[in-house]
Amino acid sequence: MAMYAAPPAMKTEVFTRIPDRYRKAGQLSDERLRAGKGTRATDSYIEGPSFDRQGNLYLVDIAFGLVFRVSPAGEVTQLIEYDGEPNGLKIHRDGRIFVADHKNGILLLDAEAGRVTPHIRRARTEGFKGPNDLFFAANGDMYFTDQGQTGLQDPSGRVYRQGADGYFECLLDNVPSPNGIVMNPAETMLYVAATRGNCVWRAMVLPDRSLTRVGLFVQMSGGAGPDGMAVDQAGNLYVAHAGMGAVWKFSPRGEPLLRIDSCMGHMTTNIAFGGQDNRDLFITESETGSVLVARMDTPGQPMYSHAG
């Protein structure tokens, strides 16, 4: 981004935080500790913000297998604790809640019963590396990233599509750490955050839903790399820059238009538009277990959960 002038910056404010009663300091598993995914001081690691039609915000905690629901007033309720690593969450138009779980594949969450059930365990008999995030297109197709421990040393992360008709395919198999995934409003372009490549890829989506002309859309630097993403109704792309404490707004041409700075920690992991007019950008900041919010000029593109 050094080829462009620094964009204007704005600050966030705290919407809510994970209450102390749901935090688990000193309880991080030895497996995650050995993998360098946190320390004994880690007490939460929130991700996957997504709104239902009632204005409730859903969050996941990948470190401790938790899912939360946050009321419009910011009151946090734990829905479930299970043996998993929930990383991304999206809500279907029919109300079903899908979870991309790094350990267990794609799951369905029954929020009222407090249980999860498998939806996709494997890719045609082959195990996943570790699903990260997901996105629903307007026709009901589900796209999701399979990140695992891929990176520049092993650029074999994958992007999958499960069609609304059940057809399943691998679209990309060479991404260094695929993470956030989203489409432009016309759904002619697919954006994939390549975290450990510190960049965002863009691919043209053909009428048959295959991808072509895959290229590098934005090259970033610093921090841990791009994480969750969102788009607004003008086609601008918002990218959570984990480790940098910021969310960047890019034009459809890739020009940096705005830097949204965290008022808390530096682990800005994911984002979602919400609020009554869909102009409030909600940001998960995982270092402090906080949800931040900033007011945008342009409404976010409605998610599939709010379609129809």
Question: Tens digit of pLDDT for each residue in 260-281?
Answer: 999 999 999 999 999 999 999 9
pLDDT at 308 over 80: no
In a domain, 110, yes or no: yes
pLDDT range class, residue 105, cuts 50, 70, 90: very high
13 is known to lie in a ligand binding site: no
Mean pLDDT (whole number) for 241-269? 99
- Active-site amino acid positions: 227
**Total Cβ atoms within 10 A of residue 210:** 12
132 is known to lie in a ligand binding site: yes
Mean pLDDT (whole number) for 52-77? 98
Share of residues in the chain with pLDDT > 70 (%): 99
In a domain, 2, yes or no: no
Q: Domain total for the chain?
A: 1
**Total Cβ atoms within 10 A of residue 191:** 23
In a domain, 63, yes or no: yes
| CB-CB contact of 3 with 255 (8 Å) | no
Burial of residue 221 (CB within 10 Å: 0-12, 13-18, 19+) is: exposed
In a domain, 52, yes or no: yes
Domain coverage including residue 66: 9-306
Alpha helix (H) ranges present in the chain? Answer: 30-34
- Say what the pLDDT of residue 2 is: 65
In a domain, 289, yes or no: yes
pLDDT at 94 over 60: yes
CA torsion sign for 286, 300, 225, 107 is positive
CA torsion 185→190→195→197, rounded to 10°?
-130
227 is known to lie in a ligand binding site: yes
CATH number, domain of 14, equals: 2.120.10.30
User: What is the spatial distance between Cα 243 and Cα 227, in angstroms, rounded to a whole number?
Assistant: 10
236 is known to lie in a ligand binding site: no
Report pTM: 0.98
In a domain, 3, yes or no: no
pLDDT range class, residue 1, cuts 50, 70, 90: low
Mean pLDDT (whole number) for 215-240? 98
In a domain, 4, yes or no: no
| CB-CB contact of 229 with 182 (8 Å) | yes
Give the residue, 36 or 274, on which the prediction is more confident. 274
Question: Tens digit of pLDDT for each residue in 159-212?
Answer: 999 999 999 999 999 999 999 999 999 999 999 999 999 999 999 999 999 999
- Report residue 195: phi and psi, to 5°: -55, -55
